[in-house]
Structure 1
């Protein structure tokens, strides 16, 4: 299978497109009833991400849909130009932005237009496409399955890598006639560092709201326990994050992440019973993803922070070790000593610290 992306930019750690190149018991979503998540509504209304987070700032935005090969209908937002209406779309470089787990595409837009990556890219002449994975608020449709059914939630990041990412990349490529750049923010949760991760079927957002309103509890101060000590967030953006997250995902997805964390091996979903694995893979154990299959000449930008508790420097070094054979002039590594997990998408200074470097990286590949 060929990679349709022009470049790959990873803010922190792994992204689905890396897995797509590298490779391959039904459970419901993180929730209770028939596998359906029961999180309360978030800050966004039914009008979608364009209306709530893009158009209000004076930018054009299109709400689009992409159907995967296995029938999931994904929400995609396109920001074709900057606020000043700069340039011809046919000459613009397309960029896909992919969010991480338990959030959706709105995470990129929580800061103001001068501080969030999608609108900064648009103002710098890029054609921006925001992808939303299956099961999140605006990507909860299917050609034949109902989100209230267990069958709808029978997937993990294997399927995100095998179906969601290729569907969006191929759609953007077909619409623009170009190979898009691809930016991914951490999907994995400290894959090589945590001994255990056990998802709980509770309405997490309601729980957070209850905890955060309790006297003496400051959720701004709780975040570092999870993400590491973020250097550069403001309180209003934190409030928006807590209103917008967590987004739905499949319990199977979290189980798969837990399997990877426990084993330290990047492999397909383990059905535990050898006969079940054999039925799905033709072998008793799940196949291991081979990161050496990533094309050695694929332009790759990796940015990570010293304070990140979810993808620490040891984790990133493990990834870099697997990329030792990558062409040196195609691999850019960007280390930020003051940054933690959320600074990359919500930091008030991210434009100067990260995004300008990303734009320079893209432009180097284009010229």
Structure 2
């Protein structure tokens, strides 16, 4: 107990905030920072269910549902290190999960293997190296198909789901389409927010740094037996919550925008305690390595095991093959921006040329829209979600 007071005093003396700054966060915001996804949904008066779904390779995924039995199901898949909370954390007036539920959709919120809600396996535990042997490839090959099949089995009047992905949630869907094209018949519309597949035109200070140093850092953390990112997730979340919510709020806000795109006018800083508490929710070092390899090559390739013998055993070739994006023949809606520092609008446009069935292609008009804005921009409904809802409803009516 004494140690906590010492830390608090140190923060007060060495940080750039005044104690009165705590008052800028009302009790509701601070409460939301510590609620689980089901807790957030219940708080706002919506029904919620938790489902456990097993993949064919033994992972047990925790899926959250805002139920509308018999209604058109929508599967929403988060990005790297994120969780189901991302679709509801900004509240009923803004979060896409609530907006879709209010319009009569049956909402299913995904949690990919390894995050805080999906940390169980039939054989391994998170302390085992084998538990973390996955990237977005396994998310697309095992996780998403298992959840789609589960949803459709419980909604027999529907043969397709709407799919909405953000960032890695799009990469995994593209990997699924390339590797398991039979699942494209089960997707009514793939709505891709900030799509990530190619990196030929992405140039930022962060990506330049990663190209030089990422492999060394990956090798180093593995040398120390670290295969989860971030390691000691719960400790990390508590630390970032304390530091970013109160002590160094402006610094953390700047770092987030530096990585994802500068847009202070649409950044709702009152959400910082919620963002830092729910993110990072957990992923694997291997997932980061796979993205790093895409960044180096610029192409959309399977994982390179950096050993020709292993690659030959896995793929039949010395080098990993490209994903066959032409197999992604379901209807696709692309939403992307110029100010996104994690995916280039030029790369999305190149992806668009390869996809056979794009029914909507939207480079967002607001020039400062960032990677984070797709989820929590102050005016995200007007700038993005109204269009998403309109296109989904057109597809539902058979107009697209």
Q: TM-score range by the shorter chain?
A: 0.7 to 0.9
Distance 1:269 1:133, change over 3 A: same
- Cα distance between partner residues in 2 of 1:166 and 1:148: 26
CA contact (8 A) 2:345 2:363 kept: no
2:347 maps to what in 1? 315
Structure 1 runs (4+) deviating above 6 angstroms are: none
1:183 maps to what in 2? 164
1:117 maps to what in 2? 96
Per the alignment, in what secondary structure is the counterpart of residue 218 of structure 1? helix
Q: Kindly state the Cα deviation for residue 241 of structure 1 after the two structures are TM-superposed.
A: 0.6
- Cα distance between partner residues in 2 of 1:206 and 1:190: 34
Distance 1:207 1:191, change over 3 A: farther
CA contact (8 A) 1:76 1:132 kept: yes
Matched, 1:265 2:253: no
Aligned residues: 310
Matched, 1:62 2:49: yes
Q: Kindly state the Cα deviation for residue 206 of structure 1 after the two structures are TM-superposed.
A: 6.2
2:322 maps to what in 1? 288
Q: Kindly state the Cα deviation for residue 148 of structure 1 after the two structures are TM-superposed.
A: 1.0
Selected match of 2:259 from 215, 221, 226: 226
Q: Kindly state the Cα deviation for residue 175 of structure 1 after the two structures are TM-superposed.
A: 1.2
- Cα distance between partner residues in 1 of 2:100 and 2:249: 40
1:25 maps to what in 2? none
Per the alignment, in what secondary structure is the counterpart of residue 266 of structure 2? coil
- Cα distance between partner residues in 2 of 1:208 and 1:190: 31
CA contact (8 A) 2:62 2:110 kept: yes
Structure showing greater Rg: 2
- Cα distance between partner residues in 1 of 2:295 and 2:164: 23
CA contact (8 A) 2:261 2:371 kept: yes
Q: Kindly state the Cα deviation for residue 104 of structure 1 after the two structures are TM-superposed.
A: 0.8
Selected match of 2:361 from 317, 321, 332: 332
- Which has the larger helix fraction? 2
CA contact (8 A) 2:332 2:357 kept: no
Matched, 1:346 2:360: no
Alignment of 1:1-367 (within 5 A): 43-44=33-34, 48-50=36-38, 52-81=39-68, 89-90=69-70, 92-177=71-156, 178=158, 179-187=160-168, 188=196, 191-192=199-200, 193=202, 194-195=207-208, 196=210, 198=214, 201=221, 205=237, 208=240, 212=244, 217-230=250-263, 231-295=265-329, 298-323=330-355, 326-327=356-357, 330-336=359-365, 337-367=367-397
Q: Kindly state the Cα deviation for residue 346 of structure 1 after the two structures are TM-superposed.
A: 0.6
- Cα distance between partner residues in 2 of 1:139 and 1:164: 11
Per the alignment, in what secondary structure is the counterpart of residue 64 of structure 1? strand
Per the alignment, in what secondary structure is the counterpart of residue 64 of structure 2? strand
TM-score, length of structure 2 as denominator length: 0.72
- Cα distance between partner residues in 1 of 2:123 and 2:197: 31
Distance 1:44 1:190, change over 3 A: farther
Per the alignment, in what secondary structure is the counterpart of residue 283 of structure 2? coil
The Cα RMSD (Å) is 2.3
CA contact (8 A) 2:198 2:348 kept: no
- Cα distance between partner residues in 2 of 1:279 and 1:273: 10
1:111-148 residue CA offsets vs partner (Å, 9 max, x unmatched): 12111011110001101000000000010011121111
TM-score, length of structure 1 as denominator length: 0.78
Per the alignment, in what secondary structure is the counterpart of residue 246 of structure 1? coil
Per the alignment, in what secondary structure is the counterpart of residue 293 of structure 2? helix
2:224 maps to what in 1? none
